A = this chain, B = another copy of it.
């Protein structure tokens, strides 16, 4: 492990209609804002060698999926299942993890998906980084739909895309900035852990 090299943040996502993909890009853009971090997007629809190698190298993996009927998408879940081979060797142990999801409803059981992503990470022995933002849109006097974390998520980043909005129109800027915040925060924690590990080795 080279403390000088960039920390790598992998964004492992599935997107059904493009909305979650926009959220994933915002997460990756946020990760790249952190000093000493790079980010790569992986669409988990194809379970390629490149995917598994990329995730094996990454310092952090941020999981993203739409919420379909209250749970992660079946495409994402097929990826999660296939990660069982990595799990058997505890190949992702001690990596950093986080999660994000998008759905049409304001709540729509998004929390169940974020919790399920955190359980996936826990099975892999990963460290889970929370969103780290207070809830927005909280006060009738000063709150706004344009607030960061307007949906009030904590375990991960939530986004909402109305059923009749194309991926060019949703999620909203507020939700994308929230996703960006998560990416940057995860990258910063990964950098901090990398530096700490390097110091421990040199003691």
Q: Which A residues form the contact surface with B (CB < 8 A)?
A: 68-75, 77-78, 80-81, 83-84, 87, 90, 93-94, 104-112, 115-116, 118-123, 125-135, 137-141, 143, 150-155, 158, 162-165, 169-170, 189, 191-200
Q: How far is the CA of A63 from the CA of B165 in the complex (A)?
A: 32
Task: Name A134's closest neighbour in chain B (CB-CB).
Answer: B90
Contact yes or no, A127 B130, CB < 8 A: yes
The answer to whether A164 and B139 have CB atoms under 8 Å apart is: yes
5 contacts between A and B (CB under 8 A): A71-B72, A106-B152, A107-B153, A127-B189, A139-B163
Q: How far is the CA of A196 from the CA of B198 in the complex (A)?
A: 8
The answer on a CB contact under 8 Å between A71 and B119 is yes
* Structural contact, A120 and B195, CB atoms closer than 8 A: no
| C-alpha gap A164/B78 in the complex (Å) | 23
Question: Closest B-chain residue to A149, C-beta based?
Answer: B105
Give the chain B neighbours of A170 by CB distance below 8 A: 140
A112 to chain B, nearest CB (A): 6
**Contact yes or no, A162 B143, CB < 8 A:** yes
Q: How far is the CB of A192 from chain B (nearest CB, A)?
A: 4
